[in-house]
Structure 1
Amino acid sequence: MKKNTIIYSLLVFLVIMNMFFLYNYMFKPTNINERRQQNNKDFIVSELGFSEEQKAEFRKKSISHHEAMRRLNDEIKILKDELFDKLSDDIVNDSVIDSITSLIGEKEKSKEQEVFRHFKMIQELSNDKQKEKFKMIIMDALRRNDRGANRIPPPLREENNRIRPPRN
């Protein structure tokens, strides 16, 4: 009888956990990336103090930007999948690898151009005061990105700023 109680308790626990995960999966309409994009939009709109007309124009023009970015990200993912599928090949043709990585580079270039055009659109929507505020936001974001990206931790640098190998 005691074994059955343990099994039933475990079964109830698993059913409750499944209901919890199912609820979170079914009733949360946006994923993390969509929420992050919405937060970014809301941040720009609120920080720049857009009027209702500016907000409407911003939302209208942002739709094509997000579609273009999603399309480019999907294309990059497909190319990267194709590239890393080559890992299992016995013979790897360098020209194929070079071709795929060149295509990835072109897509990344297109993404950067799309981001620039989007920011240019925001700037064109803005009045002079908002343009100054937008410039400050962009510069702050670039500085913040420079501090975090591709940075080697201080212990790995020597006094003359050369990189030393990490200790074992």
Structure 2
Amino acid sequence: MKKNVLLYVLLVFLIVVNGLFLFNYLGNSDDTENKDRSKGPISFIVKELDFNDEQMLQLEKINRKHHHRMMRIGDDIKQLKDALFNKLSDVSFNENSIDSITTLIGKRVKEQDIEAFYHFKDIQELCNDQQKEKFKSIINDALHKRGRKEQRPHLRNGEGERRLPPPRH
């Protein structure tokens, strides 16, 4: 009888602990997502430009459309890259098919860049004249910071040069 009581107490304890864990795990996921969103680039832009409620509503619509377009293009790129790298296991493959797949990937990346440009253009359209100047400054700062990161040399051969194999033709 004492063994059964001990098992029941242990069972109740485990149920309570699991319930608390699930509550904390599932209950805090919304807070975590909101914190992550508040740290994103759009919230930074909103904060810096001091958007009003009407601008915020329009920005949310613009952002939603942009996100869906970028996800679609990103999915296309992923599928194309999967197709490209699936050819690694082929015993014989056609150079033209590799070239055409990489050309399609390049076109999709171009679409991403165009989409990003028009997204920022749409955000700029929401701004008043004072906000437009601030927005221009934010974009220029972001572009210059990004450019500096990309210009750092990659040390591959000890001399600061990055050596890549020559392209096959």
| TM-score, L = length of structure 1 | 0.72
Distance 2:67 2:26 in 1: 24
Q: Which has the larger radius of gyration?
A: 2
- Retained in 1: the 8 A contact 2:153–2:162? no
Change (3 A) 1:86 1:30: farther
Letter in 2 for 1:55: M
SS of the equivalent of 2:40 reads helix
- Retained in 1: the 8 A contact 2:154–2:162? no
Q: Is residue 97 from structure 1 mapped to residue 86 from structure 2 by the alignment?
A: no
Which aligned runs of 4 or more in structure 1 are off by greater than 4 angstroms?
23-27, 29-32
Change (3 A) 1:68 1:100: same
Q: Is residue 82 from structure 1 mapped to residue 90 from structure 2 by the alignment?
A: no
* Count of residues paired in the alignment: 142
Distance 1:84 1:20 in 2: 42
Match of 1:134 in 2: 135
Distance 1:63 1:81 in 2: 27
| Residues 45-101 of structure 1 deviation map (CA, whole Å, 9 limit, x = unaligned) | 111111111111111121111100011011101110111000011112111101110
Letter in 1 for 2:148: R
SS of the equivalent of 1:92 reads coil
Letter in 2 for 1:115: A
Letter in 2 for 1:122: I
Match of 2:112 in 1: 111
Letter in 1 for 2:68: E
SS of the equivalent of 1:50 reads coil
Alignment of structure 1 residues 5-44 onto 2, 5 Å: 24=25, 28=29, 35=36, 39-44=40-45
Q: Is residue 123 from structure 1 mapped to residue 121 from structure 2 by the alignment?
A: no
Change (3 A) 1:137 1:164: closer
Match of 1:156 in 2: 159
Distance 1:102 1:25 in 2: 44
| TM-score, L = length of structure 2 | 0.71
Change (3 A) 1:26 1:76: farther
Tell me by how many angstroms 1:143 deviates. 0.8
Distance 1:27 1:51 in 2: 29
Match of 2:66 in 1: 65
SS of the equivalent of 1:156 reads coil
